[in-house]
């Protein structure tokens, strides 16, 4: 169960995320505290790189599609559904 302070912080965080001014921003993590922001307009090219055996983050870097990153207070685990 969340504390009141944790719940309030999460609601503030979600509100800020909901205010994203663009559909262009994509997000990914490699399992540490960083969440990386990339330009989703490169998705087709990124998929081509991945179909050629490259990792997502390498494709983003090689296409110069990386934009920024944000740091969370702890690791953001990278899992697959």
pLDDT in tens, 27-57: 999 999 999 999 999 999 999 999 999 999 9
What is the value of pTM for the model shown? 0.89
Residue 38's pLDDT is 99
C-alpha dihedral, 71 to 62 to 81 to 31, nearest 10°: -30
Residue 80's pLDDT is 80
Bridge partners (DSSP) of residue 37 are 27, 68
The first and second tokens of residue 26, run together, are 């994509």
Q: How far apart are CA 32 and CA 74, in angstroms?
A: 8
Q: How far apart are CA 60 and CA 64, in angstroms?
A: 6
The first and second tokens of residue 28, run together, are 């990914």
Residue 47's pLDDT is 98
pLDDT tens-digit profile of 2-33? Answer: 999 999 999 999 999 999 999 999 999 999 99
């Amino acid at each position: 169960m969340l504390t009141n302070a944790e719940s309030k912080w999460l609601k503030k965080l979600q509100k800020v995320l909901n205010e994203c001014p663009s559909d262009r921003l994509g997000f990914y993590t490699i399992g540490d505290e960083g969440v990386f922001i990339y330009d989703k307009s490169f998705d087709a090219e990124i998929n081509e790189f991945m179909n050629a055996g490259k990792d997502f983050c390498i494709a983003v870097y090689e296409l110069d599609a990386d934009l920024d990153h944000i740091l969370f207070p702890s690791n953001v685990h990278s899992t697959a559904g």
